[in-house]
Chains A and B, each alone.
Chain A
């Protein structure tokens, strides 16, 4: 209960006029940063960090964390409207968000995404408020073997839970792993598959690949279809928000599941990206309307957004309590804390109570402010869908190119983006799923590092993946998720006595 009174004191700090002002400025800046692909949360925070050096640390962190919230909200906007994820964790939002926009339901999709973000973030903040010390010590139990098991769980849930052809999922996943391996190998310190090119040394930046695979390929497809404007005209007003809200309680199970997945992944720290994919994969398997996923199902927007934001928020917990950043943005914020003279770590909660609880209170308020601001802009953003596509397409391409260039100021990356656009187009024509490739690209090298760190420590013995209850449970869970799909398909097929059973089993191997 001592914590609760600290929290109330925190609200008093966060609710002062100038702090509320910083919150609003931060959220608006964050939305802008989130909407522009390439700029992204970490860069936005990093650019503004020096401006805060002269400020009081509490106001500074409120401003910067509000940018973080704004970027989390903003990432969903381009994903839904143009099929271009503004942030890594909003890739899964495109799967159903964009089809919804095409069907003229952009406003519903945006409202669902923003509301889901808020619910996810709120569950993360509640977690931080009440169980901070407990959860923080749990995160310490994660060594390399446990990290690998978490990544394995994400990959397995995606293969096992996918409803596409499993051989194609696996093929796409493998291409992703291959791309992830390009660049410097952190375990041996050697360059891999760079073929002497300095451009390839950087490896394939996730955002460039995603902008190409999703955004550019979508434009190519639309061009092929003769630039027909696919979005249906829909009346757009703020009532849509209320109507969408009225439908949400039906999806409570998805919201709860994704919140739990997100909190778990944020703390461990598997991160918001893995969480969004896992939330989507699980919802797809367990929803009664799972077969409609990918065709514009509102649940397919709710699941990844809730999970990503629960994770993004919970990721701040290990940062504050242990000094480990759970995400790239958290890493920049961590740098900020040090510059302001605050040392993150177990002592922060003891020595800087005002700061910590002011920050936690600002998480509640910043999210609320963020939700109100983004919901107010829903009609504005949805109206973009009314502009003829032949006008919008060149603008999107230019924004994509600028985004790709900004990441590391390299023209080569714009070419790379276009090449991935063509690859994405071919994938879509041949009906190969893109998501597994992206997932493997993002988590592939981290999974590899964890796997090899674990084996270095155990002297090469695989027993390290079954060494304690935690890691064994995770690996077992991964195996269950991997085989759940094929086995349930097999049972279904046996009932129908069709010949599909053999194929599914084959694909699962």
Chain B
């Protein structure tokens, strides 16, 4: 009873919706369009833990993985669930890229945006024993290499593949892009020296960096990361220079956010916006962001929609240039 009042009170305070705030009446399902154990899955399960631990809803939260076809399975599931206020989906840039690469009839505008929780950076990693110290060294070596240097990433025609395409364009070189089923796999292959570099997210490679097997060269963002607690070799995430500052002008970041199905009411949307705003303010969430070196960037409402529109346009252009768009 107490938590009900608390939730209702908070909802009133946070948004200017009518006093009749909507409350979930059954278990809430979070669909993760990736397999168990991956970065999206970890985010969903962290949120599930935070919501339950802090009693942020009266209903239980269930995490369901629907990873088939590069996340299209989960996205189709949400598309079919129009009007269902007890379903949510975690999203990444895949929300634009999966439809573009597969020609599946999916579009984010048919979903209801809730909030962007963070952005994820991409880092150029090399084996700890590799001779390259800067992005310049790496690109020079790439020019001379035959057969081309191997760069590993997750999936084909997705984020990592786009970055490698960007590097080829920026440096006028050719790479052999090797798709893996997860960033963890790419990281392991890099520490075993089977590939020359990877473009993993910070969280995907931090274990091997700390273990002295891999080393970051530069981050594909406009600004350096902000976490200054030392991670490995006395270096922190904040010490990694941007790739642009080393002459490799490629920038890319990926959104991590929450959506719900289309055709839900304003009150239902407001309930979840409020819920995830509260999640984003908990100390556990801040710990999670720091641990995964995510860029804190909470946005909801218009700010989120504006971001999505700009990001979709950017991806349509990139995917088109790289020839990844399905015909």
Which residues of chain B are near A46, meaning CB under 8 Å? 36, 63, 65
**A53-B157 Cα distance, complex, nearest whole Å:** 36
Interface check A459, CB cutoff 8 A: yes
Given contacts A184-B68, A332-B37, A456-B178, contact A343 B207 (CB under 8 A): yes
Distance (whole angstroms) from the CB of B142 to the closest CB of chain A: 14
Greatest chain A CB density within 10 A among B53, B68, B185 is at B68
Contact of B184 among A53, A323, A408, A409 (CB under 8 A): A323
Which residues of chain B are near A449, meaning CB under 8 Å? 181
Contact of A49 among B45, B156, B208 (CB under 8 A): B45
Do residues A184 and B69 form an inter-chain contact, with CB atoms below 8 A?
Answer: yes
* A51-89 Cβ-contact flags toward B at 8 Å (1 or 0): 001100000000000000000000000000000000000
Distance (whole angstroms) from the CB of B96 to the closest CB of chain A: 14
Q: How large is the interface on B (under 10, 10 to 19, 20 to 34, 35 or more residues)?
A: 35 or more
CB proximity to B under 8 Å, residues A319-355: 322-325, 328, 331-332, 334-335, 338-339, 341, 343-347
Do residues B178 and A457 form an inter-chain contact, with CB atoms below 8 A?
Answer: yes
Number of residue pairs spanning A and B whose beta carbons lie under 8 angstroms apart: 144
Closest to A143 in B: B194
Interface check A141, CB cutoff 8 A: yes
**A325-B38 Cα distance, complex, nearest whole Å:** 11
Which residues of chain B are near A335, meaning CB under 8 Å? 36-37, 41-42, 45
Closest to B284 in A: A53
Do residues A339 and B46 form an inter-chain contact, with CB atoms below 8 A?
Answer: yes
Which residues of chain B are near A233, meaning CB under 8 Å? none
Do residues B176 and A459 form an inter-chain contact, with CB atoms below 8 A?
Answer: yes
**A198-B301 Cα distance, complex, nearest whole Å:** 32
Closest to A141 in B: B192
Binds B, one of A100-108, A188-196, A222-230, A496-504: A188-196
* B54-97 Cβ-contact flags toward A at 8 Å (1 or 0): 00000001011110111011001000000000000000000000
CB proximity to B under 8 Å, residues A365-405: none
Do residues B73 and A202 form an inter-chain contact, with CB atoms below 8 A?
Answer: yes
Interface check A290, CB cutoff 8 A: no
Interface check B179, CB cutoff 8 A: yes
Contact of A201 among B42, B68, B176, B177 (CB under 8 A): B68
Given contacts A345-B208, A408-B66, contact A189 B178 (CB under 8 A): no
Distance (whole angstroms) from the CB of B61 to the closest CB of chain A: 8
Which residues of chain A are near B213, meaning CB under 8 Å? 140, 346
The count of chain A contact residues (Cβ–Cβ below 8 Å) is 49
Interface check A144, CB cutoff 8 A: yes
Interface check A186, CB cutoff 8 A: yes
Which residues of chain A are near B63, meaning CB under 8 Å? 46, 50
**A189-B160 Cα distance, complex, nearest whole Å:** 12
- A residues whose Cβ falls under 8 Å from a Cβ of B: 42, 46, 49-50, 53-54, 140-144, 183-191, 198, 201-203, 322-325, 328, 331-332, 334-335, 338-339, 341, 343-347, 408-409, 449, 453, 456-459
- B residues whose Cβ falls under 8 Å from a Cβ of A: 35-37, 41-42, 45-46, 48-49, 52-53, 61, 63-66, 68-70, 72-73, 76, 101-102, 147-148, 150, 155-158, 161, 176-181, 184-185, 187-189, 191-192, 194-195, 206-208, 210-213, 287, 291, 324, 326
14 of the cross-chain contacts (CB-CB < 8 Å) are A140-B191, A143-B194, A183-B68, A188-B157, A189-B156, A190-B102, A198-B76, A332-B36, A332-B37, A339-B49, A341-B287, A345-B211, A346-B207, A346-B208
